[in-house]
Structure 1
Amino acid sequence: MRGIPIWATLIGLERDGVVDIGVVSAPAMPRRWWAARGEGAYCDGRRLSVSGVAEISDAQLCYADLPWWEAFGLGEQFLALVNAVWRTRGFGDFWQHMLVAEGAADIAVEPIVNLWDLAAIQPIIEEAGGRFSDHSGAPTPAGGNAVSSNGILHEAVLAILKKP
């Protein structure tokens, strides 16, 4: 991306079908996030914690590329989510999920994404106290799409994104 330093190397370690360790390294920022199951989530040595925002109308939403929502038949659901929250920002890729883990954002959503872009993210979100799933609610980085949240708002987000 031209002049935008938001890129990272993402590494996830999966054992017995569960991603146990995640590392996201963004040298141009320069920042590094990591987590291990049962050990917490960290960024540059600081322990991470998701926000405590309890109402979707108070939530800050980050999202991936807008045209993809329409392309995958989720345009109406996405706009409903946008209209339900307090504020939106278009920080796609890993960065939006790390903002959720840090408590700076409350929800991050992607209409399409690959396993290798999500495996490292799942343990970081969950060890920071949040929830990670695909749009159906399955706690997997292999679902082809993603929702990260502070956990409190997760079911409300899934209900809005559900296809009619």
Structure 2
Amino acid sequence: MTSPTAASALFADDLALALRIADAADVVAMARVNSADLAIDQKADATFVTDADIATERAIRDILSAERPNDGILGEEFGTEGTGSRQWIIDPIDGTHNFMRGLPMWGILIALAVDGVPQVGVVSQPALGRRWWAATGSGAWTNTPGAESRQIHVSDVSALEKSSISFQSIQQWDEAGELDNLIRLTRAVWRDRGYGDVWPYMQLAEGRLEFVAEFGVAPYDIAAVVPIVAEAGGRMTAFDGEESITKQSSLATNGVLHDTYLTFLHGGSTIAS
């Protein structure tokens, strides 16, 4: 579908592979969109999984096993496989509930982490015909209607009251005990919306939002997002300000407002940068 542009030499081959994997995964997932016989099961955590999730992750793992047999894999549906410093982190369908209902707001997330730090990220939303990708040192990129690559950047908005935010869902914030902080934040910013799932992170990377945060996330939910936001000039941490994908929360911003948001959401306390 697309090819990496100006990719860093260190991760150029990995990014090219991730894009080829996304091409294959798009085909598998799209074949099950709006299928009358879509098989749906409920997992132990009460979330749902479809046959499309299973088939897409299997297709991704098959390619990785052939192309990167010495790398580890962490996926939502089949867990961890292999060891070592290099680990591919995949979410075959981020937004399964949207997929089940025929909504196009779902994505395929593919990341490569080295020593726990995401270095390559691809986010594909084939139902929308959109894709975003980045590798450390390469910049962040997206496709255009003409299928050409376009580099993307976060916004330069530097005032809280002029910022636009996505909070993912009220239920998440309520369950995390942060609903009062969310309400305070919505009163302080220019605009707030709960766009949900991976799409708002990509809108942040394109400069259309200044803040996206959520709770209850696993590494496969956010690993692919990290390089894209970072290479677009933004910043992404856990809710407490730590740079980690394992703390079950995420907070992405345009960078210039990151510490402002952290301070605001923590009652004015000093947050480590």
TM-score range, shorter chain: over 0.9
C-alpha RMSD over aligned residues? 1.3
Q: 2:219 aligns with which of 104, 111, 115?
A: 115
1:30-109 to structure 2, matched below 5 A, reads 30-44=129-143, 45-109=149-213
Moved more, 93-102 or 62-71: 62-71
Partners of 2:255 and 2:130 lie apart in 1 by: 24
1:106-145 to structure 2, matched below 5 A, reads 106-145=210-249
Q: 1:20 aligns with which of 119, 122, 134?
A: 119
Please list every run of at least 4 consecutive aligned residues from structure 1 whose deviation after the TM superposition is greater than 6 angstroms.
Answer: none
Identity %: 39
How many residues matched? 164
Partners of 2:167 and 2:132 lie apart in 1 by: 20
- Aligned-partner residue type, residue 16 of structure 1: D
- Aligned-partner residue type, residue 137 of structure 2: G
- Aligned-partner residue type, residue 104 of structure 1: R
Partners of 1:101 and 1:150 lie apart in 2 by: 8
**CA deviation profile, 1:65-97 (whole Å, cap 9, x unmatched):** 111211111111111111111001111111111
Which consecutive residues of structure 1, in runs of 5 or more, have no partner in the other structure? Answer: none
SS in 1 for 2:181: helix
Q: Does 1:147 align with 2:251?
A: yes
Which structure has the bigger radius of gyration? Answer: 2
Partners of 2:130 and 2:229 lie apart in 1 by: 16
SS in 2 for 1:146: strand
Q: Report the alpha carbon displacement of residue 146 of structure 1 after superposing the two structures with TM.
A: 0.7
Partners of 1:23 and 1:155 lie apart in 2 by: 26
- Aligned-partner residue type, residue 112 of structure 2: L
Moved more, 126-135 or 60-69: 60-69
TM-score by length of 1: 0.96
SS in 1 for 2:248: coil
Partners of 2:185 and 2:250 lie apart in 1 by: 14
Q: Report the alpha carbon displacement of residue 162 of structure 1 after superposing the two structures with TM.
A: 2.2
> Which residue of structure 2 aligns with residue 6 of structure 1?
105
**CA deviation profile, 1:36-88 (whole Å, cap 9, x unmatched):** 00010001111010000000100000111111211111111111111111001
1:60–1:87 Cα contact (<8 Å) kept: yes
Q: Report the alpha carbon displacement of residue 10 of structure 1 after superposing the two structures with TM.
A: 0.2
Partners of 1:16 and 1:141 lie apart in 2 by: 12
**CA deviation profile, 1:123-143 (whole Å, cap 9, x unmatched):** 000000000001111122222
1:63–1:96 Cα contact (<8 Å) kept: no
